[in-house]
Amino acid sequence: MRTQVAIIGGGPAGSLLSILLGQAGIESVIVEHRTREYVLSRIRAGVLEKPSVEGLDDSGLGERMQREGFVHRGINLAFLGRLLRIDFDDLVHGSVTVYGQTELQKDLYHALDMRAGTILDEADEVELHDVGGPSPYVTFRSHGEIVRLDCEFIAGCDGSHGISRDSIPAALSRTYERTYPFGWLGILSETPPVSGELIYANHPRGFALCSMRHENLSRYYLQCDLETNIGEWPDQRFWDELRLRLPDEPADTIVIGASIEKSITPLRSFVFEPMQHGNLFLAGDSAHVMPPTGAKGLNMAIADVFLLSDALIGYYRDGTKDGLDHYSETALRRVWKVIRFSWWMTGLMHRLETEGELGQKIQEAELEYLASSRAAQTALAENYTGLPLR
């Protein structure tokens, strides 16, 4: 087999890249380890920044998102028994859209099917070859047979547990990582959300988040130890603890119900440099992972893909390699700004045992400062609603 761009990974990053390239007349083949059904079964992020929404709209991929997504023009920060609303519309004329990653993936698959995009599912033993040379190719096992896919470029969009970044020599790369000593215990409940906008709660007992998927599907999280046993957290215990960490008004009005999904999410900050080597380019979680506190993971993948698609389209349309040559440098400038924001917001809202009561008091003082400073609120709103894609 032969194509112009081999894309490793068929999640949102790989699917979106294939669509954008196809719109410019560039051939690509997606090599995906899992089945389509498995990819669509994964529960992931549900908040899209304004630049992500605009980019998807401009690419003809936002029709259902605009129809079914929920536009949020602010978030609420809970601390010391009060709620502070960060008004995105007033501060930066911005917003975010609540639209589940699973729903976006459905839209991307539909667009690929309409364009007859090539997705090779259930590919095992995937290996990348000659990524630093002029003739890269990919081999994998499909239905018992070894397949060779020759290409001109490879896009590694296969996530944090994928194989793409391992093809960049260790002597030429560097990783930066922090694993947080806590996680999020989360439940999904078929109940109306307690608020029309997200609530991030700072409390001495630990962080809490009230989120949503739609008007009758709520997502709630509690900060927990990494060793937490889900079996020791029946639904009633979760609801009782959530109420303790919220101000009185939302605590008294929250609608409880049986959980339909319960999980623990570990938190970490991770960046791999560089995001390119020879004719291999990384995008999304294959190059960086950040805590979900600021809802940035999916959005950062979208930003990478738009930047990479611009570079590849520039090469095939105009013969210029400038965008490709500087892809990693350009992408990482945005990545580090987003990592910084996620780091800051995680540190602001979570109970940090190593910092003790002093750390809790400093967090509360910073939240009080946010409440009194329009400039500080503007900085938060600008970062939360999204830095420019390009």
Positions marked active-site: 72, 200, 292, 296, 384
Give which of 23, 34, 8, 26 is closest to 154, Cα–Cα.
Answer: 8
Which residues, listed in sequence order, are joined to residue 273 by a DSSP beta bridge? 174
Calpha distance 40→110 (Å, rounded): 12
The Cα 173–Cα 345 span in angstroms is 28
**Backbone dihedral angles phi then psi of residue 56, each to the nearest 5 degrees:** -65, -40
Do β-strands 208-214 and 217-224 pair in parallel, antiparallel, or remain unpaired? antiparallel
- Residue 79 in tokens: 């601390």
User: What φ, ψ does residue 126 adopt, rounded to 5°?
Assistant: -70, 130
Calpha distance 96→302 (Å, rounded): 14
133: how many CB neighbours lie within 10 A of its CB? Answer: 10
DSSP string of 46-98, one letter each residue: -EEEHHHHHHHHHTT--HHHHHH-EEE-EEEEEETTEEEEEEHHHHHS--EEE
**Given the structure tokens 């998102």, which residue do they identify?**
65
Instruction: Indicate the residue type of 298.
Output: L
The rounded Cα 46 to chain-centroid distance in angstroms is 9
CA pair distance 216, 207, nearest whole angstrom:
23
Which amino acid does the sequence have at 331?
A
Distance CA 297, CA 36 (A): 21
Report the C-alpha gap between 277 and 137 in whole angstroms: 14
Q: How many CB atoms lie within 10 A of CB 26?
A: 21
Which residues are bridge partners to 91 per DSSP?
A: none
CA angle 100/105/106 to nearest 5° reads: 100
